[in-house]
Chain A
Amino acid sequence: MYRYLIGLFIFTLTVLIPPLFSQTLEKLQLSLSQCETLALEKNPLIKEAEYEVEKSLIQHREARGAGFLPKMELRNIWGLLPRARAQYTSTGVLTSPDTATGISDLRIFTEMEFSILQPLYTFGKIHHLQEAAESGIEVSEAGVTQREWEVRLEIRKLYWGIVLGKEVLTILHDAQSKIREAETKLNEKLDEGSEDVTQNDLFKLQIFKYEIDKETRKIEQDLLLGKKTLLTALGKNENLDFEPKSEYLEPIPFLPDSIQTYFSLAARYHPQLLQIQAGLNATRALVGVARSDLYPQFFIAGGLKYNYAPGRDDPRNPWVYNPTNFFRPGAVLGLSLNLNFSQTRNKIRLAENDYQKLSTQKILLHHKLNLEIQKLYQAILTAQQDIRESNKALKASENWLRSVSMSFDLGLAEIKELIDAYKANSKMQVEHLQNIYRYNVLVAELSKKIGYDLYPHHSE
């Protein structure tokens, strides 16, 4: 009986207890670069843009094929034809014994036709078509890069948001524990009948406690939502417990260069600019295609046609056309030209119009980008200054708290002074962290704006 009970106990421990523990959330700890890699792999918007690249690659292959035998056709048919034997009478009259068309008179025939067409000289049409297709690839590739930047920025905002949330929660939890301590001390002093404190101090503390508790609840909810959003973006189960590898929120190591550097980087790397430039190249090529229609398109065409119909004789009579039993090879040299020049000119004007429109768009985008870069650059410089200043203010708040704590320990400071100093220190800690978060996001935004990563590689 005793052994049976021990067995049951071990069974309970080994079989029933583990599932209870397994209900705790599985942890997923990732660095920022790991998050970015995962998100770039899984994002459906990037996948969609990649399909566009595939499509333009196919179109490019098609354009390349236009230069060599763009038309090469083979046609083969089979069918039934009535038998038609040819007979000449002694007087030379052509007759046939096959006048009836019953089913037994039907015979299978086959006809095969093969034709090819090779352009010889097109006044640049094929070359321009190929150029347009090549630019089409660049346009769609820049589309992928643009989507990648959008994803990267989103992930960075979420990641740093989570690190910020975690740090702020630590400050708030610390404040909650300090408030509890202060509340106990205050109550003790009030019970002792101390003259240093009044009930109003307790009420003030309770209001402060309410503010801290409310803020804690808000941050906890935001943090949970941020983690779920990030996990979804990473293609992971949103019920996992995400843990950023960065323990502290620290400013991205980045030394701003001159503004001109970022203008040049944007001109070289910004995906939308690259996209519009590739679009310009494509439309310029399409103008060339339209212009080539003003000139004749020279080509060589060839082919052969073969027909075999058993049971149908060749009457060998030049006055009688026989559509069966023949073999006709042939090759021709030709040209084609649309003589409606007004229509062709309109097509050219339309293509030129597209080109001009895109050129204007490029200038507009360039100006807009430079303005946005300037705005972000200034914001980064301000954010850097804010971090320096808030760090100084944070140190000052720490010194204030330290100073009041020293006096309080000697019994020469009131608890409300300590609370005020603590409040100011907590506020400065949060403000300093918010400045760092804003700075990190701004550097990420500038990276996206210029299309060049200003984040150090493998930033944790």
Chain B
Amino acid sequence: MLSFRLLTIPILLVLTIIISLYAQSSPSPVELIRKRNETIQKILETAGETVDAATKEKLKNIINDLIDFHELSRLALGKYWKERTEQEKKEFVDVFRTLIRNSSVKKLEIYRADRIEYLPSEINGDKAAVTTIAYKGNKSVEIIYKMHRVNGQWKVYDMVIDGLSTARNYRDTFYKQIAKSSYQEMYSKLKKRVEEK
């Protein structure tokens, strides 16, 4: 019995060291955002003012790789999420992802900032918030990346741009549309939009 107790302490110690080493090896939320932004900035610098289709495709991947579209969809649909079947949920996430990916390369100006300031991330268990302030000329835009850990990886589930929550904004739009017609009609509109592109 005593020998078992004596063994537990070193085992726990070793486990703590392993966990802390693992935690140190995965990049922090702020590092992830910084690396992503720097990569985008470098691509844009090389591309110049006009960005060709191939570069846009590359940018779409980099910009959206960190986004957890499943969680964003869940938040955006709000109360209507639970009412959806698994199949509907999957279809919605796919359409929503495509639309966001397409629109993400329309507003690249935010990445052409003169300087981006990264504030220390606020980590609370499996949730984190990274605040960045992008400066361009005499203007600045604050973006808060709301993140959570999915399978040990930090993913963005909402972005608050100068106080405007992306998830909430989509939710307002979807609620309005569903109230006006139905979920099905709204989904058709989204699908139609995907096909237009």
Interface residues of chain A, those whose CB is within 8 Å of chain B, are 247-248, 250, 395, 398-399, 402-403, 405-407, 409-413
Contact = CB atoms under 8 A, between A and B. Distances in A.
B90 interface: no
B193 A410 contact: yes
A406 B173 contact: yes
B192 A395 contact: no
14 contacts: A247-B137, A247-B138, A399-B163, A402-B164, A403-B169, A403-B172, A405-B107, A406-B166, A407-B169, A410-B189, A411-B189, A412-B174, A412-B186, A412-B189
A402 B143 CA distance: 13
Interface in B183-197: 186, 189-190, 192-193, 196
B170 to A, nearest CB: 7
A346 to B, nearest CB: 67
B102 interface: yes
A250 B140 CA distance: 13
Contacts of A411: 99, 189-190, 192-193, 196
A406 B162 contact: no
B139 to A, nearest CB: 8
Contacts of B189: 410-412
Given A247-B137, A403-B169, A406-B173, A412 B190 contact: yes
B113 to A, nearest CB: 15
Interface in B96-147: 99, 102-103, 106-107, 137-138
Contacts of B172: 403
A402 B192 CA distance: 22
Contacts of B103: 406, 409-410
A410 B176 CA distance: 13
A155 B17 CA distance: 69
B161 interface: yes
Main secondary structure of the interface of A (DSSP, over half): helix
Nearest to A413: B173
Given A411-B192, A411-B193, A406 B138 contact: no
A410 B173 contact: yes
A410 B190 CA distance: 6
A395 B190 contact: no
Nearest to A196: B189
Instruction: Among B99, B137, B163, B173, find the residue whose CB has the most chain A CB atoms closer than 10 A.
Output: B173
B177 interface: yes
Contacts of A413: 173
A398 B140 CA distance: 12
B102 A409 contact: yes
Contacts of B107: 405
A409 B173 CA distance: 12
Instruction: Among A247, A410, A411, find the residue whose CB has the most chain B CB atoms closer than 10 A.
Output: A410
Contacts of A247: 137-138
Given A399-B162, A410-B173, 9 more contacts: A247-B137, A248-B137, A250-B138, A402-B164, A406-B173, A409-B102, A410-B103, A411-B193, A412-B190
Contact of B164 (A403, A407, A409): A403
Interface string B6-42: 0000000000000000000000000000000000000
Given A247-B137, A406-B103, A406-B169, A399 B164 contact: yes
